[in-house]
Amino acid sequence: MTLRVGICGLAVESNSRAPRTRLADFESFFFGEGAQLGDMLSCNPRFRAFDAALRAGGQDCTPVPLIVAAAESGGPVAPEDADVLRDRLVAHIRKAAPLDAVWVIGHGAGTIAPRQDFDGPYLSALRSAVGPTCPIVALFDYHANISDEMMVALEASVGYRTNPHTDISERAGECGAVLARILGGGRPARAWIRLPLVSPQIVQRTEVAPMAGIMADIETILSDGNVATASVYPGFALGDTADNGFSIVIESWADRDHAAALVARIADRAWAARDAFSADLVPIPEAIARTETHPGPWILADIADNPGGGGRGNTPHVMRALLEHGARDVQIVPVFDPPIAAQAHTLGEGASFTAHFNRDETTEHSELFSAEARVEKLTDGRFHHQTGMSAGMEGDYGPSALLRIDHVAVAVTSHRRQTLGPSEFRHFGLNPGVAQIIVAKSRGHFRAGFRGLIPDERIIELDAPGLVPGNLAPVRWHGLTRPIHPLDPMPGDWREVTGIKTQGKED
């Protein structure tokens, strides 16, 4: 018998300090429904990995495209738009009924304004629509803020295990393999915990301490044949919700005690390393001085303005400092400024004009900055990523322009996106390999794209203003469950402040 597997998901990472995310932000980033979604997924490497693993698990399945909507990281979703998306998901489920299973392509760190869980309610609505016996397996981002409501709605969940996230297709395949076993009669038991620990994303890289050791332990746990899934979610602190923390989710084919013992093992290790989750940032003037000690290319990571964390991608502080310093051979890609991009397209290549950056912006830190610029290149903003976490996928900056301001090349775009690698530089006719300084509007995913071209010792993480600060101490918190490390005094044993929850098998 051919089984019908629904494909759906609503995905956004919400920064409580950023402007609200609206329905239009989903529609302009990734939005597909029904047959249109099927066409979009047919060439998507992540869906293909899921589908291949499901079939390799012995299940004859037909994918049923429902709705997948994703937005670039931004502020909390407007409540009325969250309702629209949830209602459309439920409508698609009811129209497609009956379904034998559902795969959710999610994120897990969304909120509804002001600070309510976004993912839990839509997954609960999905569960109600398909009924209690239809298995639902979800794929979540490494930075997910795991809520109890999310957990109880699912049979199983799989999180990315790399940061930068270069394993998304592999984890999608893992979802397919787990779902195949569930459809064959297997039922996992789950244990999970949310440790009271928040950290900036720049200290959550999986190839260095403290996360490297934790993830190595996760890989050891996954070698246990009774383990279905094992995921660690350091979380997205700037969501500023009651669900923030360091979450560990393990699902076992054996029983809940087996899963709980493994969760405790990882919790012990993470809690012992809690003081290592601190950032070492460099002020802009000191960073510029460092770039003069050795030939480039150097990367100055403007982490606080990372669009992938809700930043606007347009703060002028680094560009202004470089121009005032007289820095040469500088490449900045991208800077989000639709009015300047449109003006450049109107003026044409070769034109000179006064570029007034952020003239329509009202967001904190997106200050007005003006400079004399020359239009060097105009593009439609469409290109293909050749390296990094988005290798093989299309990038879309919208109508864009490369400007020359003294010795600084600035790519101005119409869509808000983070820096991911050299492909977008080459799209504008730039060769990042010969730059002295590259400015990346990104927290860290650019590292995967530039791997092999720029060594880690030539990457400097900046202490600069923005909506995505790497130093959490000055942030005004409103929604976190307190006490929480490192903001409050905490006991030496996590068991004194939180506990492991379980679900499945004996329920």
SS (H, E, C) 346-394: HHCCCCEEEEEECCCCCCCCCCCEEEEEEEEEEECCEEECCCHHHCCCE
Alpha carbon distance 477, 398 (integer Å): 35
Q: Which of 46, 106, 41, 118 is nearest to 79 (CA)?
A: 118
| Residue 507 scores a pLDDT above 60 | no
Question: Which DSSP string do the residues of 437-451 spell out, in sequence order?
Answer: EEEE-SSSTHHHHHT
Paired tokens of 178: 């787990």
pLDDT for residue 506: 63
pLDDT for residue 3: 95
Predicted model pTM:
0.97
The more confidently predicted of residues 266 and 392 is 266
The string of pLDDT tens digits covering residues 115-173 is 999 999 999 999 999 999 999 999 999 999 999 999 999 999 999 999 999 999 999 99
Annotated domain spans of the chain:
3-277+497-503, 282-463
Whole-angstrom distance between the N-terminal and C-terminal Cα of the chain? 29
Question: What is the pLDDT of the chain when averaged over all its residues?
Answer: 97
Alpha carbon distance 147, 57 (integer Å): 30
The string of pLDDT tens digits covering residues 34-80 is 999 999 999 899 999 999 999 999 999 999 999 999 999 999 999 99
Name the H helices within 19-118: 23-29, 34-42, 45-56, 79-96
Angle at the Cα of 149 (from 195 to 3), degrees rounded to 5? Answer: 120
Alpha carbon distance 489, 75 (integer Å): 29
The string of pLDDT tens digits covering residues 224-265 is 999 999 999 999 999 999 999 999 999 999 999 999 999 999
Would the CA dihedral through 140, 145, 147, 149 be positive or negative? negative
